[in-house]
């Protein structure tokens, strides 16, 4: 069902007819086995496709709750990104925003269907000390050490930041 809901609407659905798929499905297993990252998109998909008529109300409600939670979480990430962008602009630190924050605004039909769990920024290595100071000024703290794991060859450090817990 997930693959059928994610399939583009044009050109027919190679996964089968929505009613046939739904009839052979355990909705409890569907909800339990579906990755939470996908649920917001599935909510949008079941309203933008033939699945709206076959997905039971309680299932649509759970998908809706996941989408609403993703939308609220994304608002927080967007606010933090605006703070970071303003700080970097004021400090003349060049950066490129990549992955989720860009994709949710450029690829997805609605930002609330692309759940984000972080903000990915690319900065120049020569600016890293200034980046550390700027992020620390905003209340972020490093979550991994400089000796921490690297994501792939050629990357010196996996810089992961988290907002500090303040009282």
pLDDT tens, 19-70?
888 888 899 999 999 999 899 999 998 886 778 888 999 999 999 999 999 9
Q: What is the pLDDT of residue 98?
A: 86
User: Would you say 74 and 33 are in contact if contact means Cβ atoms under 8 Å apart?
Assistant: no
Q: Are the C-beta atoms of 161 and 142 separated by less than 8 Å?
A: yes
Looking at the predicted structure, is the pLDDT value of residue 79 above 80? yes
pLDDT at 154 over 50: no
- Residue 79 CB: number of other CB atoms within 10 A? 10
> pLDDT tens, 89-117?
999 999 998 887 877 777 778 888 888 87
What H or E segment, with its residue span, contains residue 162?
strand 161-163
């Amino acid at each position: 069902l997930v693959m059928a809901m994610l399939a583009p609407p044009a050109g027919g659905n190679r996964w089968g007819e929505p009613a046939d798929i739904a009839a052979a499905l355990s909705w409890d297993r569907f909800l339990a086995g579906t990755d939470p990252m996908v649920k917001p998109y599935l909510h949008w998909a079941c309203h933008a496709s033939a699945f709206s008529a076959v997905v039971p109300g309680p299932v649509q409600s759970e998908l809706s709750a996941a989408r609403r939670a993703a939308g609220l979480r994304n608002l927080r990430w967007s606010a933090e990104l605006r703070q970071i962008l303003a700080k970097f602009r004021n400090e003349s630190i060049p950066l490129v925003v990549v992955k989720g924050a860009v994709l949710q605004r450029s690829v997805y039909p609605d930002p609330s269907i692309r759940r984000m769990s972080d903000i990915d920024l690319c900065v120049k290595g020569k600016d890293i000390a200034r980046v550390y100071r700027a992020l620390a000024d905003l209340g972020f703290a490093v979550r991994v050490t400089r000796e921490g794991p690297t994501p792939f060859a050629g990357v010196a450090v996996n810089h992961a930041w988290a907002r500090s817990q303040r009282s």
